[in-house]
Amino acid sequence: MRRPRAAGLILVALALLVAGCSSVPRSRPPVQPPADPTGVVLRVGDQKGGAQSLLRAANLLAGMPYRVEWTTFTAGPPLIEAARSGAIDLGQTGNTPVIFAAAARARVQLVAASQGNVVSDAILVPANSPIHTVADLRDKRIAVGKGTSAHGQLLYSLRAAGMTLDDVDPAYLAPSDAYAAFKQGQVDAWATWDPYTAQAQLEAGARVIATGDGTANGYSFQVASNEALADPRKQAAIADLLGRVNAAMRYSDAHHDQRAAVWSKETKLALPVTRLAADRGPDLPVAMDDKLVRSEQDLADAFSDAGVIPGRVRFADIVDRRFEAERRIP
């Protein structure tokens, strides 16, 4: 008599189960060796006195098995755009441009984070200005880089004073244009960050009416293009460079004079300017943990509520923790 087909299938399943429970190890795919970044050209975006001078001050530019091509940007938004378009592979920017990147669904990921002082995230006015508090900024013209960390700081400072961006007249200018407008009296105030804060204080006698103390989170991010992250050799080069940048941050935190000297030489800023900025402290590496994500989500929500970006941003979607172990961040 033929055994029913269902019973035959059951016996086959049991045989497979027994085989799976035997002591014979099942085959596994071979472990792939780490990719070799030798000969890779890593295109890195930088800002004024950023990663390149930080690495040079710590003597960490030597011995790279890959070559770095540096491109300098005036601020974070154009750097993000370059990463989105594939013009650069990696670059560091502040806490606000990455939110605009998430809102635009840019093809980038955040692969490292750092946190620094928030005192240099300042709103400045001329020395003889009648403006003394954030509340005095109502209906005043304020220079600020659109989508920069200063934009986020201005938003938070106004919110703390019970105001919104609609209560002021933002003049969206790049840092060099903003500084010129500030010195010529074409704007009433300027929201900016170091080294521009230090430069305006020492060279133009600017007076600080608000800092990021109590409002800003002080985060910065390394932004990598999806295209670069899909290349194993570039990914290996990125991992190495992130480790060097972390070490350079820690070195600069203990060697302000060296950091200031290299910063001054590379940017042509006066040494007292870079020394003031260096004394305020560099960013230091931090984990991209839940606390960081919540803080950035709050900033993203503030921009959405203000109508600056359309809809809602899910900040966690652009956080990529694959390099946390290499960076020795808990």
Does 17 score more than 70 pLDDT?
no
CA distances from 2 to 6, 7, 11, 12 (A): 11, 10, 14, 16
Q: Residues with Cβ < 8 Å from 205, sequence gap 6 or more?
A: 126, 127
State residue 33's pLDDT score. Answer: 55
Give the 3-state secondary structure of residue 108.
Answer: strand
Q: Give the max Cα distance, the chain.
A: 106
How many other C-beta atoms lie within 10 A of the C-beta of residue 172? 14
| Secondary structure letter of residue 33 according to DSSP | P
Tabulate helix, strand, coil % of the chain (nearest 5): 45, 20, 40
CATH code, 41-117+219-318 = 3.40.190.10
For tokens 């521009």, the residue is 196
Q: How far apart are CA 282 and CA 253, in angstroms?
A: 6
Neighbour order of strands in the sheet with 207-210:
169-172, 141-144, 189-192, 122-125, 207-210
Domain 122-210 has CATH 3.30.70.270: no
Instruction: Decide if 129 contacts 207 (C-beta within 8 A).
Output: yes
One-letter amino acid of 198: A
Computed over every residue of the chain, the mean pLDDT equals: 87
Q: How far apart are CA 262 and CA 61, in angstroms?
A: 13
Residues 86-111: tens digit of each pLDDT: 999 999 999 999 999 999 888 999 99
Q: Residues with Cβ < 8 Å from 94, sequence gap 6 or more?
A: 76, 148, 149, 152, 193, 219, 220, 221
State residue 328's pLDDT score. Answer: 57
CA distances from 64 to 58, 61, 67, 93, 240 (A): 14, 7, 7, 23, 8
Weakest mean pLDDT among 25-29, 32-36, 49-53, 173-177: 25-29
Residues 57-69: tens digit of each pLDDT: 999 999 999 999 9
State residue 48's pLDDT score. Answer: 82
How many other C-beta atoms lie within 10 A of the C-beta of residue 29? 5
Residues 257-297: tens digit of each pLDDT: 999 999 999 889 999 999 999 999 878 999 999 999 999 99
Residues 130-164: tens digit of each pLDDT: 999 999 999 999 999 999 999 999 999 999 999 99
Specify the domain boundaries for CATH 3.40.190.10 within the chain.
41-117+219-318, 122-210
State residue 242's pLDDT score. Answer: 95
**Tokens at residue 63, please?**
């011995």
Weakest mean pLDDT among 3-7, 86-90, 156-160, 237-241: 3-7
Instruction: Decide if 74 contacts 176 (C-beta within 8 A).
Output: yes
Q: What is the pTM of this model?
A: 0.83
Q: Residues with Cβ < 8 Å from 173, sequence gap 6 or more?
A: 143, 144, 145, 181
State residue 164's pLDDT score. Answer: 93
